[in-house]
Amino acid sequence: MGKRRPLLRAGIELANAANGVRPFGRDGYPTIPAFFAGWPTTEMAPLYMAGSMAGAVWRWLRGDYNTRNGRISLLLKAITWALLYLIHRRNVASEPYFESPLRETLGDDYEAVAAQSQPRWRPRLSRVVPNDLLRRRYVEKSDIVRYGPHRGADLADIWRRRDLPRDGKAPVLLQVPGGAWSIGMRRPQAYPLMSRMAERGWVCVSIDYRVSPRHTWPAHIVDVKRALAWIKENIAEYGGDPDFVAITGGSAGGHLCALAALTPDDPQYQPGFEDADTSVAAAVPIYGRYDWFTTKGPGRWEFVHILLQRFVVKKRLKDHLQIYRDASPITRVRPDAPPFFILHGADDSLIPVPEAREFVAAMRDVSKETVVYSEIPHAQHAFDFFGSPRGYYTAHAVEKFLSWVHAQRNEK
C-alpha cells in the first residue's frame, strides 16, 4: 500500500484539477463537493501548483519516482500542473467579461463619468487576501456597532478610511454576506471589494444577520431591512451619506440584496419599523438566488425541498406557495427598481447560471433603470472571495459601476 500512495495522491490531485477545469457536479448532491473542491482550486491555482511542485521535488529526492508507479504518478502530476496553469490563465484572462458589459450598457465614457465621483485618494492596494489585518486597517473598535435588538446577530463592521472626515458625506455600501441563509458571517466575506471601496472614500457596512435553522424566514430579510434603516439614521456620524446607500451581497447575500432592493419600505419585511426608509440607490447581487419556488431544473428540488422547506422557511411549498413567491426577487421586479449590476459565474455548481439569466431577462423587461449583467466564463461560485484576479476584477468593476451611479445621481 505504501508504494501506491504517491500514485493515489497524484490521482487525487489530478481529479481536483480536472474538477477545477470543469466541475464534476452539475445537479443534485454532487454539486456540493464539486464546489468545495473546485472553488479554492479555480481561484488559487498558483498556490496549489507551487505546493504540488514542492512536494514532487521532495519525493524525487526521496526516490519515490524510481518505481513504475512513481513514474506514472509523476506523469499525472505533470498533467495536473498543466491543468492548474490553464485554470490560472483563464482567471487572468477574464477581465473583459467584467469590463465589457459595463461599457456596452453604460457607454464608452462610463469610466470618465465614474471618475467624477471618486475622491482625491488613490488606493494603496490593488489585490488583497482576506485576513483580519486587512479588516483592522479600516475598522476600528468604535466602528463595530449593533444595528438591531438581536444579540449575537445584529452586528456590523463599518469600513472607512481613518482620514475620512466625520462630515464627509461619503457614499455608502451595505455588504450582505452569504452562507445558505444558515451562516451569514460578515467576516471575512467581500474583503477585496470593501477594501477597494473604502480606499476610494466610500463607507462600507458589513453585517451579520439572524440565520437558520435557529431562526425562520423572513428573519433574514427583516435584519437586512433593519440594517438599511439604521444606516439611514446613523451613518452620517461616521462620515457617510444617508442619501446614497447601495447594497451588495453574494450567494444568499445576493438573494437578500436583490430582494431588499426590490421591496423598498415594504411593511411585510419591516415589522415594528414600517415607516423607515429602506430604499437603496443601486444593487449589486453576485451569484445570487432569485427564484425560491421553481422545483424543476439542476439542483432545484434539493434546494427547495431540503434547504428551504426543512431549515429556512420551515413550511411546505405546496401549502405556502405565496411565502416562497414573495421571497423570490424574480417575482418582485418593478419599473422603478434601482440600477442593478448582476454578476454570475458560468461554472457555478451551487446556483446554475440559467437562474441569473432568467432574472436579468425579467429585470430588463420591466425595469426602467440600468441593468448590467456580467457572466464570467469558467468561474465557480464565490469567485470574488479571495484576492485572485477575479476577486480584483470584481472589486474594480463594482466600484466603477457604483461610482457611475453616484456620479449620475449627483448630476440630477
CA dist., res. 178 & res. 321, Å (int) = 24
Largest Cα separation within the chain, whole Å, is: 75
> Among the options 348, 367, 374, 403, which is catalytic?
348
β-bridge partners, 342: 373
* CA nearest to 384, candidates 84, 121, 175: 175
CA dist., res. 406 & res. 282, Å (int) = 9
- The answer to whether 154 is a known catalytic residue is no
- The answer to whether 143 is a known catalytic residue is no
Q: Find the length of the chain.
A: 412
CA dist., res. 38 & res. 32, Å (int) = 10
- The answer to whether 64 is a known catalytic residue is no
> Among the options 117, 195, 206, 251, which is catalytic?
251
- DSSP secondary structure letters along 220-262: HHHHHHHHHHHHHHHGGGGTEEEEEEEEEEETHHHHHHHHHHH
> Among the options 381, 396, 403, 406, which is catalytic?
381
Q: How far is CA 20 from CA 23, 82, 182, 330, 348, in A?
A: 6, 12, 26, 30, 11
Task: Tell me the three cell numbers of residue 362.
Answer: 425579467
CA dist., res. 278 & res. 129, Å (int) = 32
184, 252 contact by CB (below 8 A): yes
285, containing H or E segment: strand 282-286
Q: Using CB atoms within 10 A of its CB, is residue 61 exposed (0-12), middle (13-18) or buried (19+)? A: exposed
Catalytic residues, which ones?
251, 348, 381
